[in-house]
Structure 1
Amino acid sequence: MWTRIPSSSVRVIGADRVDFVHGQMTGDLRGAPTPGVVPCAFLNVRGQIEQFARVYRREDDLYLHLGEGQAPALLARLKRYVIFDQVELEDLTDTLRTVHVWNPDDLPGWNGAGEGAQTLNLAGATVLAGRVNRTGNPGVDLHYLARHEDAVLAALAGAEVPLADLDAARIRAGIPDVSRDGFVGTLPQEVGLDVKGPLPAISYRKGCYVGQEIMARLEARGNTRYHLARLSGEGLPDRGEVTQAGKVVGQSGLHAGGLSLARLRKELEPGAQVEVGGVPARLEPPGDA
């Protein structure tokens, strides 16, 4: 089974590429193997997420894989910080495509015991592959040139699965998609990106970056007012305001399979009744599907 992933992407080359990008992101790129892949966020000065990305470290470049439509803003941000750095930045959105293979055993050439990022050959096409958990079980993201799409997809086992089914699986597993769920503008710890969250994307031991001071304060305090939770209900709107007794208590992401992920006030107890855009919903206990 495989699913097309709406994406955008940036490539970074140059002698200073690792240090330059490392100094902007929440993850530890310097500590990553080559090849390797590091989930991360790019924050504003208030510590709020501007973009979420998976950064692939390779011998000759960095490949930054982002959600659909996110590359232009990240590219503009990175360009503002280029001073004396020897780097070149390129938007690859129009030339690359991405699919997610649900079961790595179905992917020819993938080494399950190997590095998190690998280069494969599928039907004569060179493909960048990365271990990514999008459904509750680690699968593989494949990134390839658009002109090779027909050959690459023909080489994959099983049928294409709609994106809505993948969304339902990841929401059931409690895994956020920052871009698709509309969680841009939140703190990483509020939406599951902390070190013990379902999508860890922060290192508290790396050097400075934009928003790092806020992250250090949150680590020291060990608390945020919101956390990632799941809501159940029928016909809940996507990316809606969550209220209880007329008071705003959070925001929800996409709704699929009868569930939504939500950035929700921590004081709400499992079983609490809320509304999403006026539609009744229930706060599910952690781990329930």
Structure 2
Amino acid sequence: MTMTRRLITLDGPDALPFLQGLVTNDVLPLGRGPGIVYAALLTPQGKYLADFFVVNTGQELLIDLPDQIADATLKRLTLYRLRAKVQFAPSTLAVSRGTGAAPDGTLPDPRHPALGWRHYGAAHTEDNTDWAALRVAHVIPETGIELIPDDTFILEAGFETLHGVDFRKGCYVGQEVTARMKHKTDLRKGLIRVTIDGSAPPGTPILMADGREAGRLGTQSGGHALAHLRFDRLDAALTAGTATIRRAQP
């Protein structure tokens, strides 16, 4: 499945400082030249609202985000804007991505080297990459499947490994909860790769034999799947609908 993306331009002298106070990652280095940063916007309670790339193409500053959450995200950013000198507008560019030969002007996907490159230009192109297989292999969550607004905690979704959170930057919305999860608690559940025999829709509850819920099923590919699971229930007999779930071998 190809996820439709939307590009929003950011303009104004406060654009990067404005984002810096809201998102989970450090975007200020983009003020020095072309680059790309993966980040999330959280609720004050530390729960996921949106994930996106902040991009300096060399000509303009962009937010590259899934179309399905674009309107809600733009509305949220507008509410936070207050007196900041920053404007939002639709971009005329298109985003392309691939894992093969990269055209000039590409930027590496900052989440994982296996995810290849992203390019911002006049036309959209896709190569034949099996993105679902790559995401399952490398435990990369997707908006609306593994990343659920007002529900997901980003550290349980692997954002630290995906270079999507900076614990050294200043405050941002949801920072206190995220920092507490990092420094004061051990995660009891998280997103992992499992083996699946059969299939079930993403979001299907993963149950133990006694009916207790252990987690939730995500993307599936080639006999494996992503699952948000309690770590203390990994070795139990698990099912998701009619599918059987087992701990994946390293």
Q: What secondary structure, in the 3-state scheme, does the structure 1 residue paired with 2:72 have?
A: helix
TM-score by length of 2: 0.87
- The alpha-carbon distance between structure 1 residues 134 and 82, as it changes in their structure 2 partners (threshold 3 A), is closer
Alignment of 1:101-250 (within 5 A): 101-103=98-100, 106-109=101-104, 120=105, 129-132=106-109, 137-145=114-122, 148-149=123-124, 153=125, 160-161=127-128, 165-184=130-149, 185-194=151-160, 197=161, 199-233=162-196, 234-245=198-209, 246-250=211-215
- Structure 2 contact 141–147 (Cα < 8 Å) conserved: no
**Shift of residue 176 of structure 1?**
2.0
> How many residues in Structure 1 have an aligned counterpart in Structure 2?
246
Residue 279, structure 1, aligned to residue 243, structure 2: yes
Runs of 5+ in structure 1 lacking a partner? 110-119, 121-128, 154-158
**Shift of residue 144 of structure 1?**
2.5
**Shift of residue 217 of structure 1?**
1.2
- Structure 1 contact 183–191 (Cα < 8 Å) conserved: no
Counterpart CA distance in 2 for 1:252 and 1:178 is 14
- The alpha-carbon distance between structure 1 residues 133 and 81, as it changes in their structure 2 partners (threshold 3 A), is closer
Deviating beyond 6 angstroms after TM superposition, the runs of 4 or more aligned structure 1 residues are none
Counterpart CA distance in 2 for 1:215 and 1:97 is 33
Counterpart CA distance in 2 for 1:230 and 1:249 is 14
Deviations 1:161-182 (A, max 9, x none): 26xx221122122222234434
Aligned equivalent of 1:29: 27
**Shift of residue 88 of structure 1?**
0.3
- The alpha-carbon distance between structure 1 residues 255 and 133, as it changes in their structure 2 partners (threshold 3 A), is farther
Deviations 1:131-175 (A, max 9, x none): 016776251112233xx44xxx4xxxxx8426xx22112212222
- Structure 2 contact 46–174 (Cα < 8 Å) conserved: yes
- Percent identity at matched positions? 26
Counterpart CA distance in 1 for 2:86 and 2:157 is 32
**Shift of residue 4 of structure 1?**
5.5
CA RMSD, aligned part only?
A: 2.4
TM-score by length of 1: 0.77
